[in-house]
Structure 1
Amino acid sequence: MHSTPGRESDRFADDHGNIHEVDVVVVGMGAAGCAAALSAHAAGAIVVVLEKTGPEEAGGNTRVSGGAWFHHDDPDRAAVYLRSLCGDRPVPEPVVQVWAAGTREVSSWMESIGARVLPNGSYTAEYPELDGSDCYGGYRSVDGVLGEGRLFAVLTRALTERGIEIHYDTPAVELMTDPTTGAVTGVVTAGGRRIRARGGVILATGGFEGDPELVRTHLGLNNVPVWGSTAATGDGLRMAERVGADLWHMDNMMAVNGVSRPGSRHGFFAMFLYSRGYVWVDGNGRRFVDESVPSGHGQALIDGRYELHPRRPMHVLFDERTRMAGPISPNADVMAVGWNVLTDGYRWSTDNSAEIAAGWIYRADTLGELADRIGVYPATLTDTVERYNRACVAGSDELFGRNPDTLTPLTEPPFYAYHSAPVLAWTNGGPRRDHYARVLTRAGDAIDGLYAAGTASSTYSWAKDGGFHIADAIVFGRIAGAHAASRLS
């Protein structure tokens, strides 16, 4: 067990190893939680990390993400870009400034904990039309590799090397507070253990995408599968609310077009890398959007506004030519991300036949039969596809302006369809926080001893670019850890 020089470990643990008092308690061990724990430890604090799941699932979405963060060398322009992405949902200027300065330092901090940091690919800004996008310097990642759990491996190794205590299978369920001041003084675990925190409690519990009730209430989606960890059930949000925290960004999210197995809570990202022959239709069997509109991590420019994309349930149709072109969902050798790919080790069949045979994707010899399978009027669906095919021949989509280069007709039977609910990658909402990562009340006052970082309380009020979430988690995790440790003096 780790102990700080000048302190005896038996002051915060009994003979059975049950921790009763430490300096800083970190709840959750994704990128934000690990960064917070490492930062607090570096400041001399005795730290304990409480992880809801076991070692085989720990780390939340960080474990299965691309693990890359965006790079820039110009905090002033980065601040402009963040303001542009927030649009008419501005975040406080101190948060903008700290974010802009902090995201510049992520690579150097990762190197300081032992990571080999290299550029990853040739990624450019997803919103090049916005002011400040010129700051975007691409991705950086561990070893220059996307995914494969490399970021999580580096972070957990750093915790272990420093002797920071990690308690797996230990959900926190309640915050302890001082009855006089309202300051947060510790946590209570699901097993009833009360752990005091002299410096503070840091909520790094992830988002709420794994909780159907919160998703329905705040995002208007029902029974949606998730791309990452189902352990992200809004635990930090609920605990913070009970001690008076305000909330922010609750209607913001990233969703993707995806396929799910019947009975599974996890979904696959459907990317159609090998053919553009597909259309999206609504519950009436009609197209409703440009399926190929350039989109960032959750938003796209639609009808002159940045809108969530995709934001609603839909059926995705394709034909035999597209089926044979290649897997509609990438395997680990193409994109080593996602719960199904990394944690479950699933490999999608090269011609999509296994998933069709399993019933995840409907098959029919005619469009009319396919309409019956997905529950829409045959005449409507047939008309929709025929109209789309005519647009392909003409090279012009009069309905939604889809890029002519993507207009590949659906003419070769049999035809296929699956329901995309859609798949929810992550949420952004949680307890409102300030530039010190302190959780705020509805009146705007800081709740002493309580912090939040990562997707438990994302900076992003609306649009966000690639690598932004990992960068944000590390920046405000580090800030939370250092500030909580500073309260000891």
Structure 2
Amino acid sequence: MSGISFDVEYDLAVIGGGAAGKSAALTAAKGGLNVVILEKMSEAMGSAQHAEGACAFESSEQKAREGGDVHMPTKEEGFREYMRYSHYRANAPIVSMFVKNSAEAIEMLREVGVEFEKVISYLPDMPEELASMHIPKGMGMRCQELLQKAVRDAGVDIFVNTPVEHLILDNGAVVGVIAKDSDGNEIQIGAKAVIIATGGYGCNKELMKKYNYIGGDSSVWATIPPEMGVKNTGDGFALAEEAGGVINGGGVVQLFAGGIGKLPGSESGAAGTQPCLWVNQGGERFINEDIATKGTFAGTALAGQKDSIAYGILDQDMIEYLQNVGSDTSFGAFLQMHKPMTHLLDELEQDMAAGQAWKADSMEELVNQIGLPKEVFLETVETYNRACDRGIDEEFYKEPRFMKAIRRAPFYAIRIAPDYPTTCGGIMVNEKLQVLNRERQPIAGLFATGNDASGLYGDTYTMTVPGSTNGFAHTSGMVAAKYILSVLKSE
């Protein structure tokens, strides 16, 4: 080493304390390494605290449920589905690494006290989904709390409010990081290996515009607010590039749909994104709205509209259905299917005051309030109602059970848009999670995991394998740490 002076030294420095970071830290610490987690937020929880479950194949939880009504997928089935869905754009060695090691990641979580209630396919209206989602008691929050406790008990140092600003390189190898502590003091930390686990760039609108494959006006996409403990701004991308790493496949976005400026679980936002009538700013239908029941498909469809904005149109019958029966869609722990919406009218009043929803006694009055092309909108509604009467959507082939005419006043319009983007990859890595340079050679001492690491997907999130984001985070962190252990123990 070229005479670099450090304030403190560790075997492993982990940048980010989410699912991937804590899984890596726990694995390394249990293997005897001296480990530090550097987390820029006030808690080492990450976006996984809001996750519902984790994907795995041939886990002990799945084996215990074999022979039931639901088929438990094999590793081979998981591998083939990732490759099929991505049209073979996914990186096969990385997909193989994940499916082969995912069950061990579930065991790691079980060992820290996580109890899994069920293993399911996620969306009732997507029968082609694999039953890969392992749902823990207490969802992601409880899972991350238990993992954090285990990490501390294993002797890992966790420094919060401590962002990493630069990597330290010596002859092309990463040998440490430069961070700022909670008082703003610069710290030089030496490390034999560094893992990037910063969660992607879902909260960075500039990087979203630069990288995302979906297109559309990403400036209106609602990001997860910092008060939810998440601020994934692409820090890992900048660090990897600083060391000669390559951003490859950074445009995969797990994108949902909701009301503009609404938090996850908002009842009015969910009302607007029901499988009702959706119109764009031209006053026209543009999709079979039953995609509302198919997760990220809805966000992707909205993103392609002008300004990435559309409007959900409802009548009083639909409002009463939502109040009494509940949503026909779900969003994990935030929005449960067929749970009555008890705060819907109050939220709609707030949205109307904010200019994000409208209410009128006639369709003519409603379209005048919204400002859409009047004749086009009225013809769209009339055509849609006639299709509902026939029970056949000859335009977009929407499922008949969701074909409900809009005739009973008052009528409502709710502005909807893509929201809560989670980015899934970006930094080019190999199956050991080593960051690669432009010659596709490993950069010594540098690794990337979780939502910072590319390879699991093609150009969109694999909706048919639920729990992939969270499962890959835990698994990739564990695999990277195991490889680091094997290298350091052999020296």
TM-score range, shorter chain: 0.7 to 0.9
Change (3 A) 1:69 1:153: farther
Aligned-pair distance for 1:71? 4.2
Tell me the distance in 1 between the aligned counterparts of 2:442 and 2:203.
Answer: 28
2:156 match: 164
How much has 1:330 moved relative to structure 2?
Answer: 8.1
Does residue 46 of structure 1 match 2:42?
Answer: no
Residues 311-335 of structure 1 deviation map (CA, whole Å, 9 limit, x = unaligned): 332222212222222259989xx86
What one-letter code is carried by the residue in structure 2 that aligns with 1:447? Answer: I
**1:400 maps to 2:396:** yes
How far is 1:394 from its partner? 0.8
Distance in 2, Cα, partners of 1:449 & 1:104: 27
Corresponding residue of 2:51: 65
Distance 1:362 1:297 in 2: 25
In the aligned structure 2, how far is the partner of 1:392 from the partner of 1:88? 39
Q: Partners in 1 of 2:272 and 2:284 — Cα distance?
A: 24
CA distance in 1, matches of 2:278, 2:291: 12
**Matched residue, 1:113:** 112
Q: How many Å separate the matches in 2 of 1:70 and 1:375?
A: 48
Equivalent residue letter for 1:140: H
1:249 aligns with 2:234: no
Match of 1:141 in 2: 135
- After TM superposition, the runs of 4+ consecutive aligned structure 1 residues lying more than 4 A away are 120-129, 227-230, 264-277, 294-297, 327-331
Give the whole-Å Cα distance in 2 for the aligned partners of 1:486 and 1:197. Answer: 19
Once the two structures are TM-superposed, the CA of residue 456 in structure 1 deviates from its matched residue by 1.7
Cα pair distance change 1:50/1:281, threshold 3 Å? same
Partner letter of residue 178 of structure 2?
V
Contact 2:326 2:341 in 1 (8 A): no
3-state SS in 1 of match to 2:485 = helix
Aligned to 2:66: none
TM-score by length of 2: 0.81
1:282 aligns to 2:272 (yes or no): no
8 Å Cα contact 1:62/1:152 also seen in 2: yes
State the Cα distance separating 1:43 from its structure 2 match: 1.7
Shift of 1:470: 1.3
Q: Which residue is equivalent to 1:291?
A: 289
- Counterpart residue identity of residue 25, structure 1: A
| Matched letter for residue 105 of structure 2 | V
Amino acid at match of 1:429: G
Whether the 8 Å contact between 2:204 and 2:234 is mirrored in structure 1 is yes
- Residue of structure 2 in register with 1:9 after alignment: none
Counterpart residue number, 1:4? none
Deviates more, 1:150-159 or 1:223-232: 223-232
Asked if structure 2 preserves the Cα contact closer than 8 Å seen for 1:201 and 1:484, the reply is no
Distance 1:295 1:251, change over 3 A: farther
What amino acid sits opposite 1:116 in the alignment?
Answer: E
SS for the counterpart of 2:377 is helix
Aligned positions of 1:62-461 closer than 5 A: 62-72=48-58, 74-91=74-91, 93-120=92-119, 123=122, 136-143=130-137, 146-147=139-140, 149-178=141-170, 180=171, 182-190=172-180, 191=184, 193-219=186-212, 220=215, 221-227=218-224, 230-261=230-261, 268=266, 278-293=276-291, 298-299=296-297, 308-312=300-304, 313=308, 314-326=310-322, 337=333, 350=342, 352-359=344-351, 360-458=356-454, 459-461=456-458
- Per-residue CA deviations over 1:195-242 (Å, capped at 9, x if unaligned) read 434321111111211011111222331231124755011111121122
State the distance in 2 between where 1:157 and 1:329 align.
Answer: 40
Q: Which amino acid letter does the alignment assign opposite residue 285 of structure 1?
A: G
CA 1:52–1:373 in structure 2 vs 1: closer, same or farther (change >3 Å)? farther
5+ residue gaps, structure 2? 60-73
What's the CA shift for 1:467? 1.0
User: What is the one-letter code of the residue matched to 2:200?
Assistant: G
Over residues 165-191 of structure 1, what are the superposed CA-to-partner deviations in whole Å (9 max), with x where a residue is unaligned?
11111111211111x2x1111111243
1:139 corresponds to which letter in structure 2?
Answer: M
Partner of 2:9: 21
| 1:294 positional shift | 7.6
Query: Contact 2:450–2:476 (CA<8 Å) still a contact in 1?
Result: yes
SS in 2 for 1:400: coil
Unpaired stretches in structure 1, ≥5 consecutive residues? 1-11, 14-18, 301-306, 342-346
Amino acid at match of 1:282: N
* AA at the equivalent of 2:113: G
CA contact (8 A) 2:53 2:133 kept: no
Q: Secondary structure in 2 aligned to 1:417?
A: strand
Partner in structure 2 of residue 16 of structure 1: none
What residue is the counterpart of 1:473 in the other structure? 473
CA distance in 2, matches of 1:67, 1:140: 5
Distance 1:189 1:328 in 2: 52
Contact 2:198-2:232 at 8 Å conserved across structures:
yes
Spell out, residue by residue over 1:14-61, the C-alpha distance to the aligned partner (whole angstroms, 9 max, x if none): xxxxx6211111111111111011111122111111111113xx4221
User: Tell me, what secondary structure is at the counterpart of 1:292?
Assistant: helix
2:99 & 2:120 partners in 1: Cα distance? 23
**2:421 partner amino acid:** A
Alignment partners' CA distance in 2, 1:113 and 1:299: 34
C-alpha distance in 1 between matches for 2:235 and 2:268: 29
Cα distance in 2 between the residues matched to 1:168 and 1:330: 40
- What is the alpha-carbon distance in structure 2 between the residues aligned to residue 348 and residue 197 of structure 1? 54
Give the residue type in structure 2 aligned to 1:66. Answer: E
TM-score by length of 1: 0.82
Q: Deviations over 1:98-144 (max 9, x none)?
A: 11201232322222233223424564798655xxx6xx34432333x
- Shift in alpha-carbon separation, 1:244–1:84, aligned structure 2, 3 A: same
Higher helix share goes to which structure?
Answer: 2
Q: Distance in 1 between matches of 2:487 and 2:393?
A: 60
- Does the residue aligned with 2:319 lie in a helix, a strand or coil? helix
Alpha carbons of 1:297 and 1:172: their partners in 2 closer, same or farther (altered >3 Å)?
A: farther
In 1, Cα distance between equivalents of 2:483 and 2:75:
22
Taking the aligned partners of 1:123 and 1:165, their CA distance within structure 2 comes to 36
1:229-282 deviations in Å (ceiling 9; x for gaps): 550111111211222211122221121120134xx7878487858996622211
Deviates more, 1:190-199 or 1:402-411: 190-199
Q: Verify the 8 A CA contact 1:269 1:329 in the aligned structure 2.
A: no
**Aligned position for 1:8:** none
Q: CA deviation at 1:66?
A: 0.9
**Percent identity, aligned pairs only?**
27
How large is the Cα RMSD of the aligned pairs? 3.2
